[in-house]
Amino acid sequence: MKPLIKYRGGKSKEIPHIMEHIPQYDGRYIEPFFGGGALYFHLEPKKAIINDINTKLIAFYNGVKSNYPTLRKELDEIEKIYEDNRRQFDNLKQQYAL
């Protein structure tokens, strides 16, 4: 799974380079500097503790955890609006192409 948000200092691009240094584990994954959570989402641990000094960021993830069905519904609605707008834009672009 990919991170839900982009975050300054994210490790998404470094994951291929650091995976060889991460040991196999079956315990609890602990991430004290979560940020965008690239490594967490890549590893998909079954048991985890996440933390970050950014309280708004942690509040966001707690909101995702506790209100996922509502969030999913809202994101689906936004995606539909985007797709409709994109289709209209592409049609207009074709009409006025030089």
* pTM of the shown model: 0.72
Quick one: average pLDDT of 4-11?
A: 84
Q: In this predicted model, which residue has the larger pLDDT, 42 or 9?
A: 42
Same domain, 47 and 90: no
Q: In this predicted model, which residue has the larger pLDDT, 15 or 98?
A: 15
Q: What is the pLDDT of residue 61?
A: 93
Residue found by looking up tokens 């079954």 in the block: 46
Which domain covers residue 96, as residue numbers? 67-98
Q: H or E element: which one contains 58?
A: helix 55-66
Same domain, 9 and 48: yes
* Spatial separation of the C-alpha atoms in residues 21 and 9, rounded to whole Å: 19
> Residue 4's pLDDT band (boundaries 50, 70, 90)?
confident
* Total tally of structural domains belonging to the chain: 2
Same domain, 11 and 56: yes
* Spatial separation of the C-alpha atoms in residues 64 and 21, rounded to whole Å: 30
Q: What is the pLDDT of residue 98?
A: 67
Backbone angles phi, psi at 30, to 5 degrees: -120, 125
